[in-house]
């Protein structure tokens, strides 16, 4: 009777004696394994192997996954139950029940694939079930590049009212350095004679050292703002976009641009990151997409092409004058 009661309890909790579990680890508690994954992610942040924003995104999605399992009628208990059917249902929950976009659903899929790769590495799963789930077609990003007239208006307005923020906008437009990365750039990272900026792997998104060119216009504005009189150890953008020993938050770029957008009565699809879209479009059209790719530190031209829409898409001049056999 004791054996029957014990087996009945295990069966109710999800244990299956005929499940294809290759080792004892696959019978580990789903909750305990996710707790281990959370500790692993936190450790990656402390060692600098994972950026703070990435860790925040991972833990946020992990919390959503745990909450989803908690509200299911039949909760999974063992890690081997974290299979294709469960993950597919979870992604449908993200897309349909939470009324999320296809892009958000695909981002969850990417995160789940990373989680399952870790589970396979730790022998909790035999294979990554996410590999059998396809990405959904995504709508175009809401963000849009600024027109040439609006870029001129921005320069004229900020040139009169806020030149330090104008420098930040021009940095985004000409160097394509991401806002979070901009907060880490120090005066000493700027090679004024060579007109280059060094982006360290310690804070770059792709975890690789990078070097981007500085436009003549940027150099002139930096000299005008007396940037190079500050110590090399100062961050280029502190509070109010003035070089400082104290590092500013990336929010200052977004918040200041929102205020600018209200002042100039611009549409919501104009965002601070739109300046990068605008810069890639203009550089690709002027100097070629390969030059734009290298300045943006993209691994492949296909990534650069994602920033180009409609009339901004580039074509090679050679195709215009090619004489074929037809």
Task: Give 289-313 pLDDT, tens digit per residue.
Answer: 787 787 877 777 766 666 666 554 4
Looking at 132, 165, 200, the residue that finishes a domain is 132
The pLDDT value given to residue 110 = 93
232 vs 316, more confident: 232
Residue 93 sits in a domain whose CATH number is: 1.10.150
45 and 124 housed in the same domain: yes
Specify the pLDDT at position 99.
79
Is residue 202, in this structure, part of any structural domain at all? yes
Please identify, among 67, 102, 132, the residue that sits at the C-terminal boundary of a domain: 132
Could you give phi then psi for residue 33, rounded to 5 degrees?
Answer: -65, -40
User: In this structure, are 163 and 269 located in the same domain?
Assistant: yes
CATH number of the domain at 241, please.
1.10.443.10
Do 49 and 181 have their domain in common? Answer: no
The three state secondary structure string of the chain is CHHHHHHHHHHHCCCCCCCCCCCHHHHCEHHHHHHHHHHHHHHHHHCCCCCHHHHHHHHHHHHHHHHHHHHCCCCCCEHHHCCHHHHHHHHHHHHHHCCCCHHHHHHHHHHHHHHHHHHHHCCCCCCCHHHHCCCCCCCCCCCCCCCHHHHHHHHHHHHHHCHHHHHHHHHHHHHCCCHHHHCCCEHHHEECCCCEEEECCCCCCCCCCEEEECCHHHHHHHHHCCHHHCCCCCECCCHHHCCECCCCCCHHHHHHHHHHHHHHCCCCCCCCCHHHHHHHHHHHHHHCHHHHHHHHCCCCHHHHHCCCCHHHCCCCHHHHCCCCCC
* Count of the separate structural domains present in the chain: 2
* Burial (CB count within 10 angstroms: exposed 0-12, middle 13-18, buried 19+), residue 113: middle
Question: In this structure, are 128 and 206 located in the same domain?
Answer: no
User: Whole-angstrom Cα distance, residue 237 to residue 168?
Assistant: 8
pLDDT score recorded for residue 300: 73
Domain range for 52 is: 2-132
User: Is 324 within a domain?
Assistant: no
Q: pLDDT by residue (tens digit) across 112-165?
A: 999 999 999 999 998 999 999 999 887 666 778 889 999 999 999 999 999 999
Residue whose token pair is 């509200």? 71
Residue 281, pLDDT score: 85
pLDDT in tens, 18-36: 655 556 788 888 999 999 9
Cα–Cα–Cα angle for 34, 39, 43, rounded to 5 degrees:
145
Quick one: 164 and 89 in the same domain? no
72: confidence class by pLDDT, cuts 50, 70, 90: confident
> 300: which 2 tokens?
């492949």
Residue whose entry in the numeric block shows the structure tokens 């492949």: 300
**Is there a single domain that holds both residue 89 and residue 166?**
no
213 within some domain: yes
106 pLDDT above the threshold of 60: yes
Same domain, 152 and 114: no
297 within a domain of the structure (yes/no): yes
Same domain, 108 and 161: no
Q: Domain for residue 156, yes or no? A: yes
pLDDT, one tens digit per residue, over 255-284 is: 999 999 999 999 988 989 899 888 888 888
Among 87, 102, 132, the domain boundary falls at: 132
Residue 325 pLDDT greater than 60, yes or no: no
| Residue 137: inside a domain | no
Together in a domain, 26 and 82:
yes
Whether residue 122 is found in the same domain as residue 152? no
CB 111 within 8 A of CB 57: yes
Write down the pLDDT at residue 228.
92
Burial of residue 322 (CB within 10 Å: 0-12, 13-18, 19+) is exposed
Between CA 76 and CA 79 the distance in angstroms is 8
Measured CA to CA in angstroms, residue 198 lies from 44, 231, 245, 270 at distances of: 24, 16, 18, 28
CB 247 within 8 A of CB 123: no
Position 142 in a domain? no
Nearest to 226 by CA among 164, 161, 169, 159: 164
| Position 211 in a domain | yes
Q: Per the structure block, which two tokens stand in for 60?
A: 């946020």
- Residue 191 and residue 51 share a domain: no
Pair (263, 168) in one structural domain: yes
């Amino acid at each position: 009777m004791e054996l029957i009661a014990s087996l009945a309890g295990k069966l109710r909790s999800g244990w299956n004696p005929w499940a294809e579990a290759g080792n004892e680890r696959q019978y580990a508690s789903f909750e305990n394994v996710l707790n281990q994954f959370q500790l692993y992610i936190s450790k990656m942040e402390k060692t600098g192997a994972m950026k703070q924003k990435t860790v925040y995104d991972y833990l946020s999605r992990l919390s959503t996954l745990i909450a989803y399992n908690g509200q299911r009628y039949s909760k999974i208990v063992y890690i081997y139950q974290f299979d294709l059917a469960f993950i597919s249902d979870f992604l449908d929950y993200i897309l349909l029940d939470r009324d999320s976009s296809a892009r958000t659903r695909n981002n969850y899929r990417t995160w789940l694939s990373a989680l399952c790769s870790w589970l396979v590495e730790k022998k909790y799963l035999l294979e990554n079930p996410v590999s059998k789930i396809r990405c959904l077609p995504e709508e175009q990003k809401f963000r849009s590049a600024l027109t040439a007239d609006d870029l001129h208006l921005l320069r004229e307005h900020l040139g009169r009212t806020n030149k330090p923020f104008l420098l930040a906008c021009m940095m985004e437009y000409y160097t394509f350095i991401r806002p979070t990365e901009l907060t880490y750039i120090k005066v000493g990272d700027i090679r004024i004679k060579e007109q280059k900026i060094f982006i360290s792997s310690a804070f770059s998104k792709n975890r690789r050292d990078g070097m981007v060119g500085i436009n003549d216009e940027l150099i002139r504005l930096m000299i005008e703002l007396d940037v190079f009189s500050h110590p090399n150890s100062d961050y280029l953008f502190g509070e109010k976009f003035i070089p400082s020993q104290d590092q500013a938050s990336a929010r200052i770029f977004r918040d200041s641009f929102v205020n600018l957008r209200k002042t100039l009565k611009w549409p919501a699809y104009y965002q601070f990151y739109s300046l990068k879209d605008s810069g890639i479009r203009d550089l690709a059209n002027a100097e070629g997409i390969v030059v734009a790719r290298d300045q943006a530190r993209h691994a492949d031209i296909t990534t650069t092409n994602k920033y180009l829409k409609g009339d901004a898409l580039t074509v090679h001049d050679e195709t215009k004058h090619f004489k074929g056999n037809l």
